[in-house]
Amino acid sequence: MYEFFKTLDRRWIFLMMFLAVAVPILIIGATGRTFPEEPTSLARAVFHAIEDLPEGSKVLLSYDYDPASEGELSPMATMFAYHCAAKRHRMYFMALWPVGPQMVDDTIENVLKKDFPELEYGKDYVNLGYKSGYEGVIKVIITDFTELYTTDTRGTPWGTIPMCQEVSSVQDMDLLVNVSAGYAGTKEWVQYAVTPYPKLTMVAGCTGVQAPLLYPYIPQQLQGLLGAIKGAAEYEALVTECYGARMARRDAEGNPMVDDDGMYVIRGKYTEGIRRMGPQLVAHLLMILLIIVGNVIYFVERRKEGRR
Amino acid sequence: MKRETLIWTMVLLFGALLFLANGVMRGAGRAYVKEVPMQFVNVAEPGEVEADWIRYNSELALDEALCTQRFEEIPPELRVSWTRLEKAERGEYLTHQATEGADNPYRVSVSRTIGVWVAALFTLFLFSFLYKDNPLYKIAEASVVGVSAAYWMVIGFWDVIVPNLFGKVAPGIVRVWAIPGLEDPPNYWYLVPLILGIMLLWRLVPKGSWIGRWPLAFVIGTTAGIRLIGFIQADFLSQIRNTVIPVVAVDQAGGFAFWDSLKNAIVIIGVLAGLVYFFFSIEHKGVVGKTARLGIWFLMVTFGAAFGYTVMGRIALFAIRLEFLFDDWLWLIDPTMKRVPDEVVTAAATLLTALGAG
Amino acid sequence: MKRTIPLFITAIGGFVLIAAVFSGYTQSWGEVAAIWFDVLAAIAYILGGGNLMKIHLKKISDRTEGWAYSVVTIIAFLATLIIGLGKIGVNPSEQFPDYAWSGSYREVGGPFWWIYEYAFKPLTATMFAMLAFYVASAAFRAFRAKNLEAVLLLGTAFIILLGRTYAGVWVTGWLPDWLSGLKLENVTVTIMKVFNTAGNRAIMIGIALGIASTSLRVLLGVDRSYLGGGEE
């Protein structure tokens, strides 16, 4: 056994990781059963930052990520848009990453156009698009949007878009919401927007790699943070608890479906994060097992060398 | 042929046949679109220079005499049309197929179905590297390099250079070409970044590499200037302020909050100990050495947390790729019920409700 | 001269942006410098693409090992570039249907969108997805509890890995309410908010001082490494 693990080809470990993620995905996909989520204080802070704003508030949503981080961040992006739309906040989408506008387009198609057809582009939401320069963009738009954004991403002049006429800079926003995969992202928004202009309030969702690095900003510079897929799952649990009736699947009469425990059966596109916690659990247990086995081999080897 | 190669070839062939059979017999991997006709009519008065385009079947069209005709009968110079293909799901296709038959706006999209298979093959080619480096992986890797570089170039051109550079220096040309709504007058200060940009591109030329130093110097200088202020404000001064927290905390009722006080004290001690560790100008001996050791322990806990979160992040990225393969390509799972027509969903819902009530 | 002027440009560019923070009169200069920086960043993408072409064309012409893959790179690059820059297959904008070039280059259904959805997205996403395997392999081969510091690191990692999933709830769910602070999910929160915050704050302060000193060295011309070597 010891020799087997000592000389274990890493491809067997790859196979174990594949099975640890694939099998739960198949089981959860087939049965629809997921683990319950108990939101922590940071997820609640994010939820209340959006929920407690008066209806019609101006929210800047900056989707600073690309397909490489979609696994962790698209559930957050979806729920931020849903939550803001449900509260009838006016959403100003933008991106500091080149592929960010594509993420915004996907969110608008999947969430706003499908579930909020009453919302009008230009009056309730607008996609401002991408501008290059990373933190240089923040430095400009914090005082004047139109220095960089003369049109929205469709080419419509700024001055002809009703909701753009009401804002001149980021300082006019009631809340900043950032979905971030790295540089430029939440850290740059904190450094160049929130810190120099403390009246701004910001919440963010970020990848697992970034999350620990952003804790020093909480709560003075960053009100709330959704860290990795777990944060996304907690936020989904909070939003679906509050807006479950609207997000639920419909029965033949058009009423929201309810399961045996009296909980709303939420449509699958709004439980992405919760579903992904299943494979997370199994993969985490595998990681712990691998570390323990690796250390057992190490200590056995050390004892053998000590005896020699 | 070596035995191992033979076995692997047979396994891969069998797998390929299985996937193809799944695609052909079950229709797995098919993508659907909704055809939306986009018809526009120019209702400007004769003699007006600027056009006034409205959607043919919109509310505004009800008041226009021109729109009372059939679209094909409107003079060609006053109408424009194309078909927009919106993303759709099999469930929507099936739902409308039952009611609309031949008039169903939803249909299978051959190009997008090919796309799903191309995406799945690219995914498998890249994953094949985990077994062994091979030509298929190298082709996928070469593709991602080429596509990424060109993709960013196109984005930089259309999102920034056209509106924010050409659109400032020569707005008239950009207005008739790509951004008809552009209203700004020319701003010739933008000739400076244009010239600096041309100098930057000079780096591609073998001779005269010194020319590229000017824009590079500008970029370095502005970056250094931006970052100096940003890091001092947010990461130095603000972090010191954030660490000035009460070690004798008081709760809302006015009593001593023990746990909050303890947490605050640990944060302060941890920050100071960590900073002492990073102070390499003093030898880490005696009290300084012990404090630095405490600092390392705090940093080890920090790194352990970072590792835990990093693992969490990586696994989620892998999970979404498998969801694509199992859901969109192989049709093995359907967690969002997107391939089921509405009546099946509602019938299942009725059945489940009846069973639950029973 | 060829190296002196860039030093002045660096200093002026940087100090204008610093002065913009301290004086309202110079704020607009800072904005102008930032806008020019943003435009140059977009032109840098063109430089990147041009450089890629140069390197791979050289590989093909020199017939170095693996030059056939450079052909694949060039074909993928040129196809994406021509389709994207030419807005091939893109319909006009709804506001200006008589302007053929007014549509968004990213229009859903167009060839450029097809390349994004079925080539760029799966390729880049899968590249990063492979890291999950390497992190597992590395954990098995490299993480050893050799000393107290390593034990602290691994112990924290175990608590986080368990506490951020339902496993943590299940392992310590039996604890009574008065010991709820010891439940794994709550211990995780405490570790992140207290110990992780303290450690990362110390690192952040150290990095901030490092960035400040490096920036000043660059702006004052002490550090000239960005100008490169060479006789010119």
pLDDT at A32: 86
Interface test with C, best of B318, B320, B322 (most C CBs within 10 A): B318
pLDDT tens, residue by residue, B259-273: 899 999 999 999 999
pLDDT of B225 over the 60 cut: yes
Total domains in chain B come to 2
Contact with chain B for residue C231, Cβ under 8 A: no
pLDDT tens, residue by residue, B288-305: 999 999 999 999 999 999
pLDDT at B358: 39
Residues within 8 A of B (CB atoms), C 195-214 only: 195-209, 211-212, 214
Please report whether residue A261 resides in a domain: no
Question: Distance between CA atoms of B347 and B201, rounded to whole angstroms?
Answer: 63
Side-chain-side CA neighbours of residue A101 (13 Å): 23
- What average pLDDT is seen over chain A? 93
Please report whether residue B132 resides in a domain: no
Distances (CA, A) of C136 to B130, B311, C129, C188: 12, 8, 12, 21
pLDDT tens, residue by residue, A85-105: 999 999 999 999 999 999 999
Partners of B266 on chain C (C-beta within 8 Å) are 194-195, 198
Chain C nearest-CA distance from A55, in A, is 30
Question: Distance between CA atoms of C27 and C37, rounded to whole angstroms?
Answer: 15
pLDDT of C231 over the 60 cut: no
Strand intervals (E) in A151-287: 175-180, 202-206, 224-227
Please report whether residue B201 resides in a domain: no
pLDDT at C115: 96
Whether A66 and A148 map to the same domain: the answer is yes
* CB pair distance less than 8 Å for B234 and A71: no
Could you give the angle at which helices C131-142 and C121-129 cross, rounded to 10 degrees? 10
Amino acid type, C211: I
Contact with chain C for residue A106, Cβ under 8 A: no
Whether A27 and A57 map to the same domain: the answer is no
- What average pLDDT is seen over chain C? 91
Whether A289 and A178 map to the same domain: the answer is no
pLDDT of C106 over the 60 cut: yes
Percent with pLDDT over 70 in chain A: 100
Structure tokens at B258: 């023990």
Please report whether residue B304 resides in a domain: yes
pLDDT at B343: 61
Please report whether residue A166 resides in a domain: yes
Give the pLDDT band (50/70/90) at residue C210.
Answer: very high
Question: Distance between CA atoms of A140 and C32, rounded to whole angstroms?
Answer: 8
Instruction: Sort B289 into a burial class: Cβ within 10 Å, 0-12 / 13-18 / 19+.
Output: middle
**3-state DSSP call for residue B35?**
strand
Structure tokens at B189: 């200060």
**How many residues does this entry show for chain A?**
308
Most confident of B189-193, B342-346, C78-82: C78-82
User: What average pLDDT does the segment A30-53 reach?
Assistant: 93
**If you count DSSP H runs as helices and E runs as strands, how many of each does chain C have, helices first?**
10, 0
User: What average pLDDT does the segment A108-113 reach?
Assistant: 93
**To which residue do tokens 């080890």 refer?**
B300
**3-state DSSP call for residue B32?**
strand
pLDDT of B346 over the 70 cut: no
User: What average pLDDT does the segment B82-95 reach?
Assistant: 91
Give the pLDDT band (50/70/90) at residue B355.
Answer: low
* CB pair distance less than 8 Å for A136 and C144: no
pLDDT of B349 over the 70 cut: no
User: Is it true that the peptide bond before A181 is cis, omega within 30 degrees of 0?
Assistant: no
Interface test with C, best of A38, A295, A299 (most C CBs within 10 A): A295
* CB nearest to C35's CB, from A147, A283, A298: A147
pLDDT tens, residue by residue, C3-22: 788 899 999 989 988 998 88
Give the pLDDT band (50/70/90) at residue C202.
Answer: very high
* CB nearest to C123's CB, from B112, B114, B147: B147
Partners of B177 on chain A (C-beta within 8 Å) are none
Question: Distance between CA atoms of C161 and C155, rounded to whole angstroms?
Answer: 10
Please report whether residue A54 resides in a domain: yes
**To which residue do tokens 């002045």 refer?**
C8
Whether A124 and A7 map to the same domain: the answer is no
pLDDT at C229: 61
pLDDT of A249 over the 90 cut: no
Whether A195 and A101 map to the same domain: the answer is yes
Whether A29 and A53 map to the same domain: the answer is no
Of chain A, the end-to-end C-alpha distance in Å amounts to 21
Residue range of the domain that includes A120: 41-247
Q: What are phi and psi of B59, to 5 degrees?
A: -65, -35
Q: Which of A42-46, A286-290, C222-226 has the lowest mean pLDDT?
A: C222-226
Whether A191 and A303 map to the same domain: the answer is no
Please report whether residue B97 resides in a domain: yes
User: What average pLDDT does the segment A136-154 reach?
Assistant: 92
Please report whether residue A257 resides in a domain: no
Question: Distance between CA atoms of A229 and A223, rounded to whole angstroms?
Answer: 19
pLDDT of A28 over the 50 cut: yes
pLDDT of C232 over the 60 cut: no
Partners of B345 on chain A (C-beta within 8 Å) are 249
* CB nearest to C201's CB, from A18, A40, A216: A216
Cα angle B86, B90, B93 (rounded to 5 degrees) comes to 70
Please report whether residue A301 resides in a domain: yes
Q: Which of A300-304, C214-218, C225-229 has the lowest mean pLDDT?
A: C225-229
CATH of the domain at A241: 3.40.50
pLDDT at B357: 46
Side-chain-side CA neighbours of residue A73 (13 Å): 30
pLDDT tens, residue by residue, B46-61: 888 888 888 888 887 7
Please report whether residue A268 resides in a domain: no
**DSSP character string of B171-204:** HHHHHHHT-TT--PPP-GGGHHHHHHHHHHHGGG
pLDDT tens, residue by residue, B104-126: 899 999 999 999 999 999 999 99
pLDDT of B319 over the 60 cut: yes
Chain B nearest-CA distance from C169, in A, is 17
Question: Distance between CA atoms of C26 and B88, rounded to whole angstroms?
Answer: 53
Please report whether residue B80 resides in a domain: yes
Q: Is residue A272 within 8 Å of residue A111, measured between CB atoms?
A: no
Residue range of the domain that includes B41: 3-109
* CB pair distance less than 8 Å for B319 and A21: yes
Please report whether residue B76 resides in a domain: yes
pLDDT of A224 over the 90 cut: yes
Give the list of residues 6+ apart from residue B62 with CB closer than 8 angstroms, or none: none
pLDDT of B249 over the 80 cut: yes
Distance of alpha carbon B139 from its chain centroid, rounded?
A: 23
Please report whether residue B117 resides in a domain: no
Whether A14 and A53 map to the same domain: the answer is no
pLDDT at A262: 83
User: What average pLDDT does the segment A230-259 reach?
Assistant: 89
Boundary of a domain, candidates B43, B77, B109: B109
Total domains in chain A come to 2
